[in-house]
Structure 1
Amino acid sequence: MNVAIIDAHIHLDMYKQKERQQILQQTERTKLEAMVSVSYDLPSCKMNLDLHKQFERVKPAFGFHPEQTLPTEEDLADLLLYIEKHHYEAVAIGEVGLPYYKRQEDPELKLEAYIKVLEAFIKLAKRLDLPISLHAVYEDADVVCDLLEKHSIQKAHFHWFKGSKRTVERMIENEYLISITPDVCYEKEIQQLVRRYPLTHMMVETDGPWPFEGPFAGEMTEPTMIHRAVHKMSQLKAAPLEVVYKQLYANASYFFSLF
């Protein structure tokens, strides 16, 4: 189906230059109207802003990915200052969150310092009136929900979310958005989530260049994969394909104030 899509979460700056050019050159063919390129750290923020200035369809989000060593106080201050200065050019604060996978590798890792950094970004998002894109899965999602509720944050987006039924119900009640990756085509856990979550509060993403398995094994992750994800979501929701496309597009457009 020749219908417009929005990639709600991609690390465009992390692709090799040739791969990135391929994605950007194919936006017309793939009907990719916009892609929200989330940031990993300060250099990533700067590159995503440069990409936005070169290609209007690239929409930058500024943040610090939690699955890495914490920044020094000076580095964090520099990053927050950069976001303050350039927030009018951003569509969100992101990617920010908590280091679930890093803690699986290092159980001794202390969560408190990461929570403190995340709270600084949540406060910044509220002050700048920007939505926030979050990396928070399983039990970490409940900690993040506590922080969002504490600061009365409503425009929150949990990318590639995985968690308990109780947490899902809490997120639905708070009207937080989630985004679905191409693994919905083969992962039962994600398929169950799609069946459960309201279509009015879902978006689609690639999280590229992260690679996928199943029918996408060996392929470079690119936004065209979203079309196959939308088809699967249509089946799971037992909803007309055109309705699913239209709702997902509207959700992302509204959440990120794109058009």
Structure 2
Amino acid sequence: MQSSHVDITKKSAYVDAHIHLDTYSGAAQAAIIQLLEDDTLPLDYVVAVSMGLKSSQATQAWARRYPQRVLPAYGFHPEQALPTDAEVAELLAWMDVHQAEMAAVGEVGLPYYEREAAAKQGNVFSREPYVELLEQFVQRAAAWNKPIVLHAVYDDAPLVCDLLERHNVRKAHFHWFKGDADTVERMAANGYFISFTPDITYEEDIQALARRYPITQVMTETDGPWPFEGEFTGTVTVPTMVRDVAAYWARLQRITEQEAAVLLRENARCCYGY
């Protein structure tokens, strides 16, 4: 295990570094509201990411309702059809106006799964327009000195690293990452953060990544409301599940849960400044 000084006298607190609050509805949304309003839980805050303009506006409403409990990130999720030029301009203009209240740019990235689905159907899929769109978000993250939350896996990740390096973006958060060893080493060397979901408890490739990645560049997330398997089968994904993620990560690192909680919380502060 990599060495790191951990003050275990600090109170345990957790961060869900990636969740889609605006996509919860009904009873699930009520459960989220109850958690956010419960100050007795060891949950400091969540980073709420967005899918596009309407999603960003909904995320903004969550953040204004729960200041310091919900940190908002605005952007365009790549696993969907490209927006029109007018839609891109509208989203970017809105972000320009509201950049002061943003915790991060995101969720943004490249459409690996859409591209794979198109290939299986024998359809032509151009990644280049998504790269051009992503660069506009990267430029803003650099200009505003804000973290950028990234959906970039497998062979998309090196292209994203190229953009981050080109624009000198230092605080990059690759959520639910999967990729080759060389890219993992490159990301770690650049100081980029990654985060683990509850699938760390049952996915061996994720466990292997968790053992390898620098312990000071790791966070916890749920990607809620995305559902999980294993012990979480049939369970609504809620932010407090990051405690299970932290506990399993602690086992992999052979440290106590308290040590893990303090370290992971400090990593979130280093990435998001809170």
Give the partner amino acid of 2:94: Y
Q: Show CA shifts across 1:191-244 (max 9, x none).
A: 000000011000000000010011101110111211111111001011222111
Kept in 2, the 8 Å contact 1:126–1:153? The answer is yes
Q: Could you list the runs of 4 or more consecutive aligned residues of structure 1 that deviate by over 3 angstroms after TM superposition? A: 27-30
Q: Which residue of 2 aligns with 1:181?
A: 197
Q: Specify every segment of 5 or more residues in structure 2 that has no aligned partner in the other structure, as ranges.
A: 1-10
Identical-pair percentage: 46
2:191 is the counterpart of 1:157: no
- Residue 118 of structure 1 aligns with an amino acid whose one-letter code is L
TM normalised by structure 2 equals: 0.91
In structure 1, the partner of 2:3 is: none
Match of 1:166 among 169, 182, 185: 182
Partner in structure 1 of residue 164 of structure 2: 148
The answer for unaligned runs of 5 or more in structure 1 is: none
| Alignment-derived partner of residue 270 in structure 2 | 254
Deviation (angstroms), 1:11: 0.1
Q: Count residues in correspondence.
A: 257
Match of 1:224 among 229, 232, 240: 240
**TM alignment of 1:62-101, pairs within 5 A:** 62-101=74-113
CA contact (8 A) 1:199 1:244 kept: no
Measure, in 1, the Cα distance between the counterparts of 2:40 and 2:223: 20
Does the alignment pair 1:11 with 2:27? no
Shift of 1:254: 2.4
- Supply the distance in 2 between the matched residues of 1:240 and 1:19 (Cα, whole angstroms): 31
TM-superposed CA distance for 1:17, in Å, is: 4.1
Match of 2:220 in 1: 204
**CA shift for structure 1 position 150:** 0.9
Q: CA–CA distance in 2 between the matches of 1:249 and 1:155? A: 16
Normalised by the length of structure 1, the TM-score is 0.97
Aligned counterparts of 1:30 and 1:199: Cα–Cα separation in 2: 24
2:139 matched residue in structure 1: 123
Give SS of 1:158's match: strand
Question: What are the Cα deviations for residues 71-120 of structure 1, in whole angstroms up to 9, with x where unaligned?
Answer: 11110011001111011111000000000000111122100000000001
| 1:54 counterpart = 2:65 | yes
- RMSD, aligned α-carbons: 1.1
Q: Give secondary structure in 2 for the equivalent of 1:224.
A: helix
What amino acid is the match of 1:96? Answer: V
| Contact kept in structure 2, 1:30 and 1:223, CA below 8 Å | no
CA distance in 2, matches of 1:104, 1:147: 22
Name the aligned partner's letter for residue 233 of structure 2: A
CA distance in 2 between counterparts of 1:117 and 1:150 reads 15
Distance 1:30 1:70 in 2: 39
Higher relative contact order, chain-length normalized (CA < 8 Å, sep 6+):
2
Whether the 8 Å CA contact 1:135–1:158 is kept in 2: the answer is: yes
CA contact (8 A) 1:39 1:64 kept: yes
Give me the whole-angstrom Cα distance separating, in 2, the residues matched to 1:111 and 1:55.
37
